[in-house]
Amino acid sequence: MSQAGLPLGLFLLTLVAFITDYSIILLVRGGNLSDTNSYQSLVQSTFGLIGYLILSALQFMYPFIVGPGDILTERHFVILVSTVLFTLPLSLYRDIGKLGKVSLLSMLFTVAILITVIVRAATLGPQIPPSEGAWVFAQWNAIQAIAVMSFAFICHHNSFMIYGSLQEPTLSNWSLVTHMSVGSAALVSAVFAAAGYATFTGYTQGDIFENYCRNDNLATFGRLCYGVSIITTFPLECFVTREVISNVIFKGELSNTAHVIVTLVIISATTAISLSYDCLGNVLELNGVLSATPLIFIFPAACFLKLSDGRWLRGGNLIPSIILVAGVCVMIIGFVMMVLFPQDCSHGAEMFYCTVPNTSVLSTTPPSSVLRITNATQNVSIF
């Protein structure tokens, strides 16, 4: 919302959700047309070895970067302990269906995070003056926002795994699951984004928990929920990364020993990177542009168009054609803008409104008084 503007951002969020929903179903339809049961085999059957290798690189890169990008904290000891005690054991599962209860736990923590952001929008928001141009319809760098949204919605890289885990893996059942999943995710994302942006407007950080003050106990609880949510989410991504290695390098299913070794290598590498890098916003945007956009927009549409009959811009091929062209544009323009206009990163720094007297979340100072104080101290903002 900070990059796109709140009204345009909500519209783009809905649009990306629609494209995500459509392309997930398109992916499975392409698999049925080509008689394949994985994203990699679908692309290989339509675009040969080159397409297979490009997709494998993207599929490996997206879930791999999820680990370094999300498990962020200065407390390196906590990262190591949580990785060894929780992330690694969960990632060692060979059956993705066994992570169902873990995924449910992650969803419950997501709801807790959402409640935290909504409560603070009501209690903290009035004490923070809006940034200049906070409520304009659109911002000039909205393309960068699409990259972050794509990162948030992508699940194509493990769609075939989940499709195969259904009791009745039919296209109608898959469509129902997809509509419910993407629809609920879009609703949560919209409420989260609107409440978070309304609280901090132009001061919004790439990781919104960086916006809350250190002495805010509710926000600290939200950070804990976020950490647990990521711990329970990453094993799903590890499945995809490991499958790519299994297919590309080992040409088949891993033995028990190889399964453990490959998992250890993946977890160790992501943990090492997470210990040395802590700018979440740039990670989300980079991964969204380079991995999520082609996996959501480009490959599903391209595979379907090549497998289907008729011209690109006619009949049932019109929407896939538009999605394909839009994906290429977002990927190219988004990457250029990301390089030229990177996000600010202030991990670990207190925001200016946390250090101004009488402006803590527990303060009883009226918003008008806070506004006068803060206007006089805008220059201390990290921006």
Specify the number of domains making up the chain: 1
Using pLDDT thresholds of 50, 70 and 90, give the confidence band for residue 356. low
Q: What is the CATH number of the domain that holds 11?
A: 1.20.1740.10
Using pLDDT thresholds of 50, 70 and 90, give the confidence band for residue 348. low
Using pLDDT thresholds of 50, 70 and 90, give the confidence band for residue 366. very low
Is 236 a domain residue? yes
Is 99 a domain residue? yes
Q: How far is 177 from 171, CA to CA, in rounded Å?
A: 10
Is 1 a domain residue? no
pTM: 0.77
Using pLDDT thresholds of 50, 70 and 90, give the confidence band for residue 75. low
Is 339 a domain residue? yes
CB of 68 closer than 8 Å to CB of 277: yes
Continuous segment of H or E residues that includes residue 75: none
Q: What is the pLDDT at residue 357?
A: 54
Q: Which of 304, 267, 240, 268 is nearest to 56 (CA)?
A: 240
Within 10 angstroms of residue 40's Cβ, the number of other Cβ atoms is 20
Using pLDDT thresholds of 50, 70 and 90, give the confidence band for residue 347. low
User: Which DSSP state fits 126?
Assistant: G
Tens digits of per-residue pLDDT, 81-120?
788 888 888 888 877 777 777 888 888 899 999 999 999 9
Q: How far is 306 from 51, CA to CA, in rounded Å?
A: 13
Q: How far is 179 from 162, CA to CA, in rounded Å?
A: 14
Q: Which whole number is the average pLDDT over 266-274?
A: 85
State the Cα angle at 136 between 133 and 141, rounded to 5°.
90
Q: How far is 63 from 58, CA to CA, in rounded Å?
A: 9
Q: What are the percentages of helix, strand and coil residues in the chain, rounded to 5?
A: 75, 0, 25
Is 200 a domain residue? yes
Of residues 205 and 373, which shows the higher confidence score?
A: 205
Tens digits of per-residue pLDDT, 126-153?
989 888 888 899 888 888 889 889 888 8
Is 14 a domain residue? yes
Within 10 angstroms of residue 79's Cβ, the number of other Cβ atoms is 18
Q: Residue 359, SS3? A: coil
Residue 278 has pLDDT above 80, yes or no: no
Residue 190 has pLDDT above 90, yes or no: yes
Structure tokens at 245: 């290695």
Q: What is the pLDDT at residue 361?
A: 44
Is 29 a domain residue? yes
Q: What is the pLDDT at residue 238?
A: 84
Q: Which of 12, 22, 54, 321 is nearest to 147 (CA)?
A: 12
Q: Which whole number is the average pLDDT over 237-263?
A: 85
Q: What is the pLDDT at residue 359?
A: 44
Is 235 a domain residue? yes
Q: Which whole number is the average pLDDT over 323-333?
A: 93
Q: How far is 164 from 155, CA to CA, in rounded Å?
A: 14
Write out the residue range of the structural domain in which residue 283 sits. Answer: 6-380
